[in-house]
A and B are shown apart, each in its own frame.
Chain A
Amino acid sequence: MSREDLPDFEPERYELKEPRRYSFDLDRRDFMRVFGSGLVVVATLPRLAAQESGRGAQGRGEQADLAAWLHIDERGRVTVYTGKVEIGQNIRTSLAQTVAEELRVPLASIAMVMADTDLVPFDAGTFGSMSTPRMGRQLARAAAVAREMLIDAAASSLAVDRATLTAENGRVVSASGKSLAYGDLTKGRQLTGTISGEPPVTPADKWKVRGKPEKKLDGRSFVTGAHQYASDVNRPGMLVGRMVRSEAPGATLKGLDISRAEAVPGVTIVRDGDFVGVVAPNERVARKAAVLIVATWQPLTGRPTSETVYEHLKKTGEGGRGGAFTSGDVTGSASVGTRSFSETYLIPYIAHVPLEPRAAVAEWTDGKLTVWTGTQRPFGVRSELAEAFHISEDRIRVIVPDMGSGYGGKHTGEVAVEAARLAKAAGKPVKLVWTRGEEFTWAYFRPAGVIDVKAAVDARNRIVSWEFDNWNSGNAGIRTPYDIPNQRIQFHQSDSPLRQGSYRGLAATANHYAREMHMDAIARALKIDPVELRLQHLKDERVAAVLKAVAERIGWPKPSASGRSLGIACGTEKGGYIATAAELSPDASGFRIERLVAAFECGAIVNPDGLRNQVEGSVVQGLGGALFEAIKFENTDILNGSMSEYRVPRFKDVPPIEIVLLDRKDLPSAGAGETPIVCVAPAIGAAARAFANVKPALPVTVVRA
C-alpha cells in the first residue's frame, strides 16, 4: 500500500459516518462576509484536506480548498484566520510563531482568529496531527508570500531595486537605510496574493522565532480563570438547559409525564420526538425540573457485555476498506519458519474524559443561529446544525473558544444541536453543559478490538512471516515498521455495541500494543535482546534512531537497581517516531512503575517546550489505558460511568518521566499531539513480563504463576 492508497480518513473515525440524531424545522436567510482593506494572502490546501472531513465537505466548491487567510491591515497589524481549534495542544502559539518568523514581525504582534465559522475559511477539523505539517506549512508559505509582496510594494514606493531591500521587525528596510513600516505599505490599498510555486520560506536552520520555547500566547487568562470556555460563555437573557435521557443509549421513549415539572415557575419543557429537555432560569432549577419529569423508556436488550464483546466483534467482522495489505506470501514455503508465535490481544473500550464536558450556548437572532461550543470540527458542527434545522449553513455561526480539551473525543456536535433546539423553543439563548455522567454515556469511546498476530521465525532468527488481523480497533499504525518478507495485515470492521470514534492516536495504540508485545515475546523466546531483535529487523533509520536514543537514556539493558526490570517498545505513526522504555519493580499488585523514558522525533521542532509538554502529556494519558482504563457495560448500559468508578491518571500514578527530543532540522515538521501515546502500554507490559505472565490484553494485567 503506497501513501496515495491510504484512506482519506481512518476508518475508525466512526463518529463521522453516523446518521444524524435529530432533525428539526426552521427557516432561511442569507449572510455576507466582508473583508477590510490592506493586504490579504489566501493560503490553499491540496484537495485531500477537503476529503478528510468526510461528510459536510463535499459540494462546497472553492471553499473546500481554502485553508487560511492572512491579513495585514492599514496599521500593519497582522491577523491570521484559521479554522484550527486550540484544544490545549498549543497550536495557537506554534502557528503564530510560524507566521511571525516568515513575516519578520514580533510574535506579540500576531492576532490569531481561530475556529469561528463566520470569520475563518473552511477547515475539515483539528485532528490527525495535521495542523503543524499542513496548516503550519501553508501559513509559512502564505506569510512568505506576504513578506515578498511587501518588499515589492516598498521597491516601487522607494524606487529602488528590490534586491537591496529586507524585511525586519515589521518594516521593509533598504540598504541605504530608508524604511517603510508594513502599515505604510498597505494603507489605502487592496493587495491580494495567493501561493504559487514554492515561496521562499525560511529553512529550519535559519529559524529565529520557531525552534524556540515560546510560552502559551494567552497563558495569563488561564491561570486567572478569566478565559471563557464554551461552558463559561454568558449571553444577555441566557437560560440554562438540561436533557432528559434514558439510562442507556438506544432506548425508545414509551411514556412521558411532565405535569410536575411543568408546575415549576419559569420552566419550559421541550419535547420533539424522543428529544426531551427542559429550560430554566438557572442550572439549579433546570436540574430540579428535569428530575420531576417521569419518562418511561424501552431499553435495548440482548446486546453484548464488556466480557462478551470480543467474541461479538470477531463474529460480526468484515474485511475493511481496501482489503488486506500483503507482501510476499504468508502461505508459501518461504514463510514457514522453524518456530511460530501466535497470540490474541484484547483491547477494551476506553473513554476520553475531557475535563470540560460537552457544552454549548445557542442563540437565535432573526432566524440566524450562533452557537459557542467545544468541538474539534466547527464546520462539521455547522453542517450538523444545518441538517438538524433545515437551514443553510450561511445562517449558522459556530464559534469555538479555546477548549477544555478533546483528545479526539469532540468531533461531533450533539450538544450544539441540543442547545439550539432548546433555545429555539425558549426564544432565548440557552446554555447546555453535559454532566460527567452524560459525557460517559452519550459521547463515543475509543473502539474495542481483537487483534490476532501470528509470526514465524526461521533458523537464523529472522522473522519470515507476519500475519496481523485487527477486528474493530482500526487501521492506524497497523503496518509493521519491521522488515519482514511475507506479510498479511488486515483490518476488519465489526458491529460495535457501543458508540465509538476517534481517540488520540486512534488504533495506533492498540496496534502498537499487540505488535510490540509480540516482538518482545519473540525476543524472549529466542533469548535475543529485544532491542537487538528490533534493530536486526529495522530498515527505517528514524525508528531505529528513537529506539537507540531511548535505550541509551534508560540504561538498557541494565535496570538502575537490582530486582527491577526494563521493557521497551517503538514505532511510527502520523509522521512521528516514538520509542518508550519503562523501568518496573515488583509489588503486591504485580508491579510498580519506577521510571518512564520516551524518545520522540517529528522533524524540525517548532516549539521545543510545547513539544515536551505534549509528549509528556501523551505519556501520562497513555498510562491510563495501559494500567486501568476500561469501560464496563451490559447492553448499552455503562456500568462505570463516573469519575469515582472510572479511574484516570492522577498525581500518584505518575512516575518520573524523561523525554528525549530528536530535532531533525533537515526534515519537515510533523504533528506531535498523538503519536507519543502509542508505546507506553507495550513498554510497561514487556517490563512486567520479568515478574509474572502478562495477559495479552489492555490494560496490562499480570497473572501470578
Chain B
Amino acid sequence: MATFTLQVNGQTHSIDGTPGDNLLTVLRYELGLTGSKYGCGEGQCGACTVLVDGVATRSCVTRLETLDGKRITTIEGLAPAGTLHPVQEAFLEVEAFQCGYCTPGMVIAATSLLSIKPSPSERDIATIMDRNICRCGTFPRIVKAIQLAAQRMKSTSSAGGQR
C-alpha cells in the first residue's frame, strides 16, 4: 500500500492504494466524480477522458503513481459552477449528442484539442479525436460543435477576454 496525492479540480486528495490502480475508479467510486464515464477500461473509447496538466488523458489507463504534482481537471471542474465552457455551449447548441454518455469525454478531449489547434480542420478533429467513440454516431455534429467553439473562443480571445 502507498499513499498518492491527487489534485482534482483544485482540491487535494490523499488516496491509499497500490501502484497500478487507475485514476478513473478513484474519481468515480471514491471522489464521487461520476461525470467521467467507464466505457472500455482499455483507453480505446475516450468516455473517461480528463485533463492532466491540460492534456486529454484516458483516466481508465492512467496509474495513480504517474500523477504526482499534476493538475487533474474533470468535466465537473471544466467551468466554474453555474457556467459553461464554450465547448459545452457549442455541444448544446449543435445538439452534438444523443444518449450523452460519451459527451463529457468528448467535451474534455475537444478542449484539449483546441488548446493545441485553435482552428482545427475536419481532418485535424478526426485525427486527434479518433480515440473518442460515440456509439450513437453523432460524429458529424461533434465536428461542427468543435468548430463552432473554436470560432467563438478565437473571437473572445482576440477581443481580449477569456470566457
Contact = CB atoms under 8 A, between A and B. Distances in A.
A317 B136 CA distance: 34
Contact of A284 (B29, B104, B127, B140): B29
Interface in B111-148: 125-127, 129-143
A13 B159 CA distance: 58
Contacts of A287: 25
B45 interface: yes
Contact of A215 (B74, B92, B140): B92
Contact of B45 (A283, A621, A643): A643
Interface of A is mostly: loop
A703 interface: no
Nearest to A642: B42
Nearest to A437: B41
B98 A405 contact: yes
A88 interface: yes
A216 B140 contact: no
B99 A355 contact: yes
Contacts of A589: none
Contacts of B99: 87-88, 354-356, 402-405
A227 interface: yes
Given A87-B99, A224-B35, A402-B99, A284 B25 contact: yes
**Best-surrounded residue of A226, A357, A617 (most CB of chain B within 10 A):** A617
A675 to B, nearest CB: 15
Given A223-B92, A224-B35, A436-B40, A229 B135 contact: no
Given A225-B74, A284-B25, A405-B136, A435 B95 contact: no
B141 A88 contact: no
Contacts of B126: 651-652, 654
B47 A219 contact: no
A90 interface: yes
A631 B84 CA distance: 41
A620 B29 CA distance: 33
A651 B129 contact: yes
Contacts of B92: 215, 219-220, 223
Contact of A433 (B38, B129, B131, B143): B38
Contacts of A226: 35
Given A215-B95, A433-B38, A404 B101 contact: yes
B137 A618 contact: yes
B88 interface: yes
B107 interface: yes
Interface string A641-673: 011100011111010110000000000000000
A680 B74 CA distance: 37
A403 B102 CA distance: 12
A20 B117 CA distance: 53
B132 A617 contact: no
A338 interface: no
Contacts of A232: 28, 34
A88 B95 CA distance: 12
A89 B75 contact: no
B54 interface: no
Contact of A225 (B75, B136, B143): B75
A585 interface: no
B138 A613 contact: yes
A626 B132 CA distance: 20
Contacts of A231: 34, 37-38
Contacts, number: 174
B114 to A, nearest CB: 15
Contact of B135 (A89, A234, A355, A437): A355
Interface string B14-30: 00010001000110111
A648 B91 contact: no
A133 to B, nearest CB: 20
A87 B135 CA distance: 12
A601 interface: no
B76 interface: yes
Given A88-B136, A649-B137, A219 B101 contact: no
B10 interface: no
Contacts of B45: 355, 643
A560 interface: no
**Which among B47, B99, B143 has the greatest number of chain A C-beta atoms within 10 A?**
B99
Contact of B95 (A240, A357, A609, A652): A609
A498 to B, nearest CB: 20
A164 interface: no
A353 interface: yes
A443 to B, nearest CB: 14
Given A356-B37, A404-B37, A643 B44 contact: yes
Contacts of A614: 98
Interface in A27-52: none
A416 B130 CA distance: 33
A90 B135 contact: no
B36 interface: yes
Given A88-B136, A651-B125, A436 B100 contact: no
Contacts of B135: 353-355, 405, 407, 621, 648
Nearest to A220: B92
B47 to A, nearest CB: 6
A284 B17 contact: yes
A90 B98 contact: yes
Contacts of A227: 100
Contacts of A219: 92, 95, 97, 100
Contacts of B59: none
Contacts of B26: 284
B139 A651 contact: yes
Contacts of B36: 225
A617 B17 CA distance: 41
Considering the complex of A and B, which 5 residue pairs feature the smallest CB-CB distances, nearest first? A225-B35, A620-B137, A88-B99, A222-B100, A404-B101
30 contacts: A219-B92, A222-B100, A222-B103, A223-B84, A223-B88, A223-B107, A224-B75, A224-B104, A225-B34, A225-B76, A228-B34, A229-B101, A282-B25, A282-B30, A283-B25, A403-B99, A436-B39, A436-B41, A613-B138, A616-B141, A617-B98, A617-B138, A620-B138, A620-B140, A621-B135, A642-B42, A643-B42, A643-B133, A651-B127, A657-B140
Interface of A: 87-90, 215-216, 219-220, 222-229, 231-232, 234, 240, 282-284, 287, 353-357, 402-405, 407, 433, 435-437, 609-610, 613-614, 616-621, 642-644, 648-652, 654, 656-657
